[in-house]
Amino acid sequence: MQRRHFLGILGGAASSWPTAFRAHAQPAEVPVIGYLDASGVARLFEAFQHGLRDLGYVHGRTIMIEQRSAAGQAGRLPDLARELASLRPKVIVASGSPAASAAKNATTAIPVVFTFATDPIGAGLVASLARPGGNVTGQSNQGPGLVGKRLELLAEMAPRVSRFGVVWTPSFSANQVDFREMQAAAATLRLVLDSFEVTRVEDIDGVFKQAASRLGGVAVLSGPFIFTHREFVVAAAARHKVPAIYYDAEYSEAGGLLSYGPSLLDMHRSAAVFVDKILRGAKPADLPVEQPTRFKLVVNMKAANAMGFTIPSVLLGRADQIIE
């Protein structure tokens, strides 16, 4: 058989190979992961990417990440979520409750993983923590007794005072749950609790000015508005010398006196584990929502010194991190 004739036969045979075999020989499609957030905090997105890298995923090679951020303008989230859903990603990762709600409303087919949500059942994200039931799962940043523990720590800062305050945004449903928990904790601790609602940046300074005149300190409930404007919040607390405790280290690192809660950075890293399971075939409905088991107490000594506060030695001894 002549060489030219043999190659012709080979070429004809190749063209008749089964389609499935030829498709298998082609490079696999790189899965797209969507990432949606309300606040635009870069380090949280970077922590999620770090979690993916720890699992062997490489952006641009084994996965593609499409990020959309509302940059503090929560009203943009629905449009951004629909935009991400139109790209048909394998998973949408949502940073925080508002982003998760927007992603859930944008699609019932694409799996959604929330990096953290304060009240995932109350927010309508899942049917239950053990069995989410739909296309959404993730992690809660709230654990039993956590809100009350923050009030207890605040009271340790001013043991001779019985009147404290809570700064919150009533329009954020998770804040309503936390506020009720804090009221219950105050009753147990025999403390009086004043409510301070903030809905505009212009409200912040006046709230802390009022608190300074009659309270031993305030607990600040986190949410999209307060978190976005956390630097204004901690600056107002410092200006009026009001002891305040916050949700997580992001606030202490911005100048807040105390914070107690799970690490949002760790939660964004561990969200990658959910993504990995889903890419391997797991269904969100079968992945229980995880609750935090580790909490971090951060004390900002720089803030304490600037405001003239003495942090009790017992509290310092329990701190996981002290910012000098």
Q: 105-161 pLDDT, tens per residue?
A: 999 999 999 999 988 998 899 999 999 999 999 999 988 889 999 999 999 988 889
List C-alpha distances in Å: 187 to 180, 181, 184, 191, 219: 11, 10, 5, 6, 15
What integer best gives the mean pLDDT of the chain?
90
Residue range 57-112, pLDDT digits in tens: 999 999 999 999 998 888 999 999 999 999 999 999 999 999 999 999 999 999 99
pLDDT higher than 90, residue 25: no
Q: What is the mean pLDDT of residues 251-276?
A: 96
Rounded to whole angstroms, the Cα distance separating 257 from 261 reads 14
Contact 232, 239 (CB under 8 A): no
Rounded to whole angstroms, the Cα distance separating 304 from 297 reads 15
Name 235's Cβ contacts closer than 8 Å, sequence gap at least 6: 255
pLDDT higher than 50, residue 2: no
pLDDT higher than 90, residue 245: yes
* Residue 166: count of CB within 10 angstroms of its CB: 23
Tokens 């986190």 map to which residue?
Answer: 222
What is the biggest distance separating any 2 CA atoms in the chain, rounded to whole angstroms? Answer: 103
pTM of the predicted model as reported, rounded to 2 decimal places: 0.85
pLDDT higher than 60, residue 31: yes
DSSP letters for 213-244:
HH-S-EEEPP-HHHHHTHHHHHHHHHHTT--E
Nearest-CA neighbor of 81 among 111, 107, 119? 107
Provide the pLDDT confidence category of residue 40 given band limits of 50, 70 and 90. confident
pLDDT at residue 28, as a whole number: 62
Give all domains of the chain, ordered by start, each with its CATH number.
Answer: 32-141+264-286 (3.40.50.2300), 146-261+296-323 (3.40.50.2300)
Provide the pLDDT confidence category of residue 1 given band limits of 50, 70 and 90. very low
CA angle centred on 239, ends 246 and 220, rounded to 5°? 20
Residue range 169-221, pLDDT digits in tens: 998 888 898 999 999 999 999 999 999 999 999 999 999 999 998 999 999 99
Contact 302, 323 (CB under 8 A): yes
Q: What is the mean pLDDT of residues 20-48?
A: 77
Provide the pLDDT confidence category of residue 13 given band limits of 50, 70 and 90. very low
